[in-house]
Amino acid sequence: MDIDVLGALSVRENGISVTPTAPKPRQVLALLALHADQVVPVAALIDELWGDRPPRSARTTLQTYVLQLRELIAAAVARDGHGAARRCAKDVLVTSPGGYLLHAAGGTIDVCEFEQLAGTGYRAMDAGDFTAAARQLRDALSLWTGSALADVQTGPQLEMEARRLEESRLCALDQRIEADLRLGRHRELLGELTVLVRRYRTHENLHGQFMLALHRSGRRSEALEVYQRLRTALVRELGLEPSAGLRRMQRSILMSGPEPVPGPAAAQGERLSRVG
């Protein structure tokens, strides 16, 4: 079974889609897919579908949705032309004590691929291998085709999972940009960072990276304008001032000449503590 959730939901058995169109069964499949090869408790599925006001028929209705999913899976299994040792639908969507389990059977899961590639990239960053880090993190981010579960109606459980995945994506993006900055690719990053700071109006790391890229490109006044826009957004939307590290960066840009590109041994924290 192949599972994609980093964008539109897509679940395929033998290359055949088993993703339902109806919203509620789609929610059930999405939650099972996010926890593939793990038992998802009935209580979690009911919470996802109905929140804190489930109907009396919640368990029976959930069983109906599971049966609908198994019908889709059975149709996909039946079209497997390989003959021997086929899985049946109940082997794929397994009833376990207290819940259900979606058995991926060694198929591809984009979340797992993302986490593996990102983890490799983080380790390369820690080792000072910024070329490898940038490559691995770029490959990890390429698995995303949109917001996680972009076409799924989300309840409490899926909303929490979508936020967790988005935070993971932002962490990988932050580190990939950091690696590119260490490699002197500041001018190449300007277009991407222009879009990102508009999308994430109060994200300090992205604004700090944009300021640094602009400053290294000889655009000091624009770097200072980025700081002022961030400060305005933080004060207005969150009632907060920029962090001490970002304030130090702003003062250093005011006082310094062109920013030298740091060597591989420079600590990440130095980027926010001084620029000249």
Residue 2 has φ and ψ, to the nearest 5°, of: -110, 130
Residues 236-246 have pLDDT tens digits of 999 999 999 99
pLDDT at residue 270 tops 70: no
- Overall fold of domain 2-102: Arc Repressor Mutant, subunit A (1.10.10)
**Percent of the chain surpassing pLDDT 90:** 85
Residue 239: both structure tokens together: 């009632």
> Of 21-30, 172-181, 209-218, 266-275, which gets the smallest average pLDDT?
266-275
DSSP code per residue over 124-167: HHHTT-HHHHHHHHHHHHTT--SSTTTTS---HHHHHHHHHHHH
DSSP code per residue over 2-20: EEE-SSS-EEEETTEE---
- What pLDDT does 82 receive? 56
pLDDT at residue 122 tops 60: yes
CATH 3.90.550.10 fits 185-276, yes or no: no
- What pLDDT does 257 receive? 56
- What pLDDT does 265 receive? 35
Q: Residue 23's CB: how many other CB atoms inside 10 A?
A: 10
**Rg from Cα positions in the chain:** 23
Residue 140: both structure tokens together: 């990890």
**For residues 263 and 43, what is the distance between their CA atoms, to the nearest angstrom?**
52
Strand order in the sheet with 16-17: 2-4, 10-13, 16-17
Does this model's pTM top 0.95? My answer is no
**For residues 97 and 102, what is the distance between their CA atoms, to the nearest angstrom?**
14
The ranges assigned to domains in the chain are 2-102, 185-276
- What pLDDT does 256 receive? 78
**For residues 241 and 234, what is the distance between their CA atoms, to the nearest angstrom?**
6
- What pLDDT does 81 receive? 56
Residues 178-216 have pLDDT tens digits of 999 999 999 999 999 999 999 999 999 999 999 999 999
Q: Are 2-102 and 185-276 in the same CATH fold?
A: no
> Of 50-54, 80-84, 145-149, which gets the smallest average pLDDT?
80-84
